[in-house]
Amino acid sequence: MVAPVSSADVAEQGGERGAGQGAMGQGRRPEPVAPRPAATVMIVRDGPHTSAPLEVLLLRRNPHADFVGGAHVFPGGAVDPDDGGLRAERLSHGFTDEVASGTLGLGSGGLAYWVAAVRECFEEAGLLLARHADGEAVSFSDPLVARRFASHRAALNAREHSFLDVVESERLSLSVDALHYFAHWITPDGSPRRYDTRFFVAAAPEGQTPAPDAVETISDVWVRPTDALERHRAGEMELILPTISNLQAIGRFATAPQLLAAARAARRVPTVLPRVVRDEGGGVRLLLPGDPGYDDPAGAEDPAKLESDFDAAARLASRAVNTPGAAAGERCGG
């Protein structure tokens, strides 16, 4: 696939929280931007449809955000330092950092991606994938419990407490074993913000209702993947490339149990690292692994010259790749 795009288009869609921008100084070549670890989770369920009931949760970003404002995205964001370490591992249920790191192909620190995905889902969508000491999943069906956790969430988003403080105070453990590794995208060189993003998929927790944080995200919707793609083509919903690619990938499954079973059984998740190049007309193109010219260094553009094209080209590229009959990516979301 070759399409006009910006490298910001493939940045992790929820990963703006706390992430710095590689500002370009006057008359100076900017320092290369290293990808920041990030995690995103696709929360899925079966909706009230007689055919292909699989639905996924999308959050709409604040239209005033300086990156893909107004776009619908999955909950997610940058990995924080507190997401890793012995404390986070002690509060996680299902597997260790060693197991998580092996799954991601890392030497260590892999569990932090799972913890970040759980944390961001709670911060941005109000859904908490966790369990009590007796193994029972957290539910907000009791209004008193719902209000207590709403207060926790407000304090967390106000940076009055850490996420692990909340988990410890409620005597919970994080259900990291409920999140299944699904896709891996890295923002290409040239973006002022770059993310090394791991995508996960998880079943929607029972007894909980999503609620946007009203700051970074302003609304939420449960939607079938094919319907979201159709709404994007009709100009009714803004989506960016990683979201489109993963919607195409999960849209191959009719039900949430089918998708989760496939994700649970998968053993290989390829890395998707797009390249941004100039075309002959002066525009910007995106090359994905396997595209003609992807491995040809001759077409590479100086990243320092691309910054002004990112946001505008991102929206054009999204429309270019989401065309009727476009082939769904492999299970990796690419």
CA separation for the pair 212, 122 (Å, rounded): 10
Confirm whether 262 is domain-assigned: yes
Instruction: Indicate if the pLDDT at residue 210 is higher than 60.
Output: yes
Here the CATH number for the domain that contains residue 257 is: 3.90.79.10
Burial of 19 (0-12, 13-18, 19+ CB in 10 A): middle
**Domain assignment of residue 329, yes or no:** no
Report the pLDDT value the prediction gives residue 297, as an integer from 0 to 100: 66
Is the pLDDT assigned to residue 43 strictly greater than 50? yes
- Residue 157 counted as domain residue: yes
Using DSSP's 3-state secondary structure scheme, residue 32 falls into coil
Neighbours of 230 (CB within 10 A): 15
User: Environment class of residue 135 by beta-carbon count within 10 Å: exposed (0-12), middle (13-18) or buried (19+)?
Assistant: exposed
> Is position 163 within any domain?
yes
CB atoms within 10 A of CB 253: 21
Inter-residue contact 38 to 199 (CB < 8 Å): no
Give the pLDDT band of residue 34 (cuts 50, 70, 90). Answer: confident
Does residue 326 lie in a domain region?
no
Q: Are strands 284-287 and 275-278 parallel, antiparallel or unpaired?
A: antiparallel
Asked if residue 328 belongs to a domain, the reply is no
Identify the bridge partners of residue 219 per DSSP, sorted by sequence position.
Answer: 60
Tally of structural domains, the chain: 1
Residue 195's nearest CA partner among 208, 185, 206, 209 is: 185
- Tell me, what's the pLDDT at 14? 40
Strands 2-3 and 180-186: unpaired
Share of the chain above pLDDT 90, in %: 61
Q: What's the whole-number average pLDDT of the chain?
A: 83
**Domain of 160?**
2-321
Confidence band, pLDDT 50/70/90 cuts, at residue 142: very high
Angle in degrees, 0-180, between the axes of helices 310-321 and 241-250, rounded to the nearest 10? 20
Of 117, 76, 58, 43, the C-alpha closest to 238 is 58
User: Which DSSP letter does residue 272 get?
Assistant: E
Report whether pLDDT(106) > 90. yes
Task: Note the pLDDT tens digit of each residue in 260-269.
Answer: 999 999 888 9
Q: How many CB atoms lie within 10 A of CB 303?
A: 20
